[in-house]
A and B are shown apart, each in its own frame.
Chain A
Amino acid sequence: MVNKLPKTQKKYQLKIPSQSDNLALIRELIAKVASQVGFDDEEANKIELAVDEACTNVIKHAYNHNSNQIIDVLVKTDTKKITVIVSDKGLGFNPDKVKTPDLNESIKAGKKGGLGICLMRTLMDKVYFQIKPGQKNQVTMIKYIN
């Protein structure tokens, strides 16, 4: 979908049920758009993974596996960057309290999660959250073309 944007700017939106079997489709969209903008395979893989992590968090935590809910994935591109905004209307969280987990401690505690946000922050150039639980939670991820 393109809305009166300059030719170099494009916008794509996917509104999809909050189900883990949709992750593959979301990744496919992101990989194709990233490669069209000019990211090489390695960088496109990073964007794909970061978006997978954001959507997985929505499925597991914001919507607690309720597949009647919708994940909104908005992708904007221009000649310099890709911006992916993942939104939900589920439970929120405090992103400032999400610290990089100590892997050794997590393993000892038998903890098997908590790595997603850390990965998103590592893989993308900018990641920021706007949290309004029940209304709109949003994570914006930006990656620049080198």
Chain B
Amino acid sequence: MSEQWVEVCDADDIEEEDVIRFDHGDRTFAIYRSADDEYFATDGLCTHEQVHLADGLVMDNIIECPKHNGRFDYRTGDAKGAPVCVNLNTYPIKLEDDKVYLKLG
């Protein structure tokens, strides 16, 4: 399959050290902008209960799930301890012309 880059949003649509939700087809993703102005993408739903991570809080490199405080490193998808023990998938991101693109895996 050829590379599938999809446009997410303008680079400025995400604040620094924050996250937004991005739905594409029947899939949902969380798109992050770090305090260092880097962009990342993970699965949109927490692996503990199906809750949108974009409603959670980004602090440093951690996204904390809105409901049960499950924590993941959003750069790697790693679960940082109970109640979450299953990692998130991560997805490549690129910036072109001040737009954010996500590569579907």
Determine if chain A interacts with chain B: no
